[in-house]
Amino acid sequence: MIVVTGGAGFIGSAMIAKLNEKGRDDILVVDDLASTEKWKNLVGKKFADYMHKDAFLKGIDGGSFPRGDLDAIIHLGACSSTTERNVEYLMQNNYYYTKRLSDYATWSEIRFIYASSAATYGDGEQGFSDDDAVTPLLRPLNPYGYSKQVFDLWAMRNGLMDLITGVKFFNVFGPNEYHKGDMKSLVVKAYKQIMETGKVKLFKSHREGYKDGEQVRDFIYVKDCTEALWWLLEHKEAAGIYNLGTGHARSWNDLANAIFAALGMPPSIEYIDMPESIRNAYQYHTEATMTKLRGKGFTLPFSTLEESVADYVKNYLHPSDRYL
């Protein structure tokens, strides 16, 4: 059985769709549905069972899953809010939770893939290399990034980089993110704005050398992410921490123009001031260095921004939200 934590979430539910596509339905979905809309991400998915994350952890600690019961754990469950300020909450959900699962996985000698984050790179002063020598030098800008960084460092100190696999997701977008509130991608937010007003709002630049809307990100489609995760699941030799982006940064203007193009509309962009509260922690440039994963033999091409946005808008967002 394959465990997918955060299985009702954005990337988690997309991964279940990928596992189903590959003929796997022996899946244990672990999550905390609470009173959210995440349950919609599971509709139509094939899986063996569902467990609340607390019950799952209790089972792990209490011996309910003896060695041989599970084949792999794909650990995508976490608090992913970059604006969360309850640091202890983040540490419990993103650090301690991951430690307990990695301890179990290494003890039972099964595949363990977990979500780190590009937020660990902070302002990018150290670049965006996933080389082990760079990881200790990184300085995240927010508590979320720090909670991810702490586990990466713990795993390195304890010699786990030959046993487990961490994935530093860059700017992921795509179907099944509809429940994420303010953490939804700009594709969803911009699409809604365009449908309501005919235009999209982007932040002005507050840094010399960057024009308005020309701040860049490494945008990656969730379908490409699940292709990479499937490949990592199949290749146990690919242990360590890896970036997961396209390796090609694109601007917010490019993203907005791609959405308008997918809708067959001329671009109309309004630039607004960036809130003072986020200016000091705002990233103007992110771009994944992909040589490490490519060097392990991952050769699948990533979709272009225009291809990904067109698929998302035409086949999922327009005229109403559809799910993978």
CA dihedral defined by 220, 225, 227, 229, rounded to 10 degrees?
150
Tell me how far apart the alpha carbons of residues 219 and 277 are, in angstroms, rounded to a whole number: 24
CA distance 139 to 136: 8
Angstrom distance (rounded) from CA 122 to CA 145: 8
In the beta sheet, which residues pair with residue 145?
none
With a CB cutoff of 8 Å and minimum separation 6, the contacts of 324 are: 13, 14, 17, 174, 175, 176, 222, 223, 316
User: Which residue, among 78, 10, 9, 16, has the nearest Cα to 48 in the 3D structure?
Assistant: 16
CB 24 within 8 A of CB 46: no
How crowded is the C-beta side of 62, counted as CA atoms within 13 Å? 7
- Pairing of the two strands 72-75 and 216-217: unpaired
- Residue that has been written with the tokens 């979709």 in this structure: 303
Q: Which residues contact 301 (CB under 8 A, 6 or more apart)?
A: none
CATH architecture of 2-173+219-248+287-303: 3-Layer(aba) Sandwich (3.40)
- The span from the CA of 35 to the CA of 6, in Å, is 15
Rounded Cα–Cα distance for residues 179 and 159 (Å): 37
Please report the pLDDT score of residue 242 as a whole number.
98
pLDDT at 177: 97
* Cα(225)–Cα(228) distance, integer angstroms: 5
Q: Where are the domains of the chain?
A: 2-173+219-248+287-303
Quick check: 241 and 161 in contact, CB under 8 A? Answer: yes
What is the chain's pLDDT, residue by residue, as a tens digit (324 residues)? 999 999 999 999 999 999 999 999 999 999 999 999 999 999 999 999 999 999 999 999 999 999 999 999 999 999 888 888 999 999 999 999 999 999 999 999 999 999 999 999 998 999 999 999 999 999 998 999 999 999 999 999 999 999 999 999 999 999 999 999 999 999 999 999 999 999 999 999 999 999 999 999 999 999 999 999 999 999 999 999 999 999 999 999 999 999 999 999 999 999 999 999 888 878 899 999 999 999 999 999 999 999 999 999 999 999 989 999
Contact 158, 99 (CB under 8 A): no
User: Which residues are tagged catalytic?
Assistant: 144, 180
| d(C-alpha 298, C-alpha 135), whole Å | 22
Which residue reads 């490494």 in tokens? 218
* Helical pair 222-234 and 10-21, crossing angle rounded to 10 deg: 60
* Residue 278, pLDDT score: 86
Q: How far is CA 92 from the centre of its chain?
A: 19
CA 262 – CA 314 distance, rounded (Å):
7
